[in-house]
Amino acid sequence: MNPRTFISLETPRLILRRFRVSDLASFMAYRNDQEVARYQSWESISHAEATKFIAQQSRHRPGIPGKWFQFAAEVREGGALAGDCALLVIRTTPRIGEIGYTFAQAYQHNGLACEAARAVIDFAFGTLALNRVIATTDCRNAPSVALMERLGMKREGHFLHNAWFKGEWCDEYQYAVVREEWPRARVP
C-alpha cells in the first residue's frame, strides 16, 4: 500500500480509515468525556475545533514527518466510530514513529485499541518502512501500560516529573518496539 493513496487498514473487528464529516458527533462525544480525556493532553473539544480537526485529517495522509495522522477506528459490525489511533513520524528522525490511541468508554477494555494499534504498527513497519515505534503514557494509566505490554513493546524509560500535565507534574513511561522484533513481539 502506498501511503499517498491510503484508503484504510482492516482488522477482524475494525476499519481504520480517514475521518469523515459524519464522525463529528461521535468524535465530539468521546473527546468531551472527562474520563477519556483523563490522561490526554486535551480536556475537551468545541464544535468548531472538531470540525476543523476532521477537515484537516480527511486531507492528510499517514507518514508525513512531523504531522500526526489520526486513523478513525470504525467498528465493522454496525459502523460506529469507536475511537482513533494516531501515528506520528518523527520529523528529526523520520525512521521513528510514535503511536497513540483514544477510544470511547463503550469501546474500552475489549481489545479494540490493541487491535487498532497492531494494525498501525504493522503499517508503520511495512508500508512506511519505519525502524522503531515508540509510545509514551502517564505512569498512572494502567490500561495504557497493559496495552503497550500486550503489543510486545518494551519499557525503555521511566521519566520522573517529565510533563506538566493538567496542573501537576506527571511521571511517564516510554515504550518501544523495533521492526526486527515486531513479529516475535506480537502477542496473540
- Residue with grid cell 493532553, as numbered in its chain: 41
Q: What is the pLDDT of residues 25-76, one digit of tens each?
A: 999 999 999 999 999 888 899 999 999 999 999 888 999 999 999 999 999 9
Say whether pLDDT at 185 is over 70: no
pLDDT 10s digits, 23-38:
999 999 999 999 999 9
Residue 94 vs residue 185, higher pLDDT: 94
3-class SS of residue 68: strand
Q: What is the mean pLDDT of residues 84-107?
A: 96
What one-character-per-residue DSSP string does 107-162 give?
A: GSSSSHHHHHHHHHHHHHHTTS--SEEEEEEETT-HHHHHHHHHTTPEEEEEEEEE
**pLDDT band at 157, cuts 50/70/90?**
very high
Q: Is this prediction's pTM over 0.85?
A: yes
Structural domains of the chain, ranges and CATH numbers in brackets = 8-185 (3.40.630.30)
Residue 162: pLDDT band with limits 50, 70, 90: confident
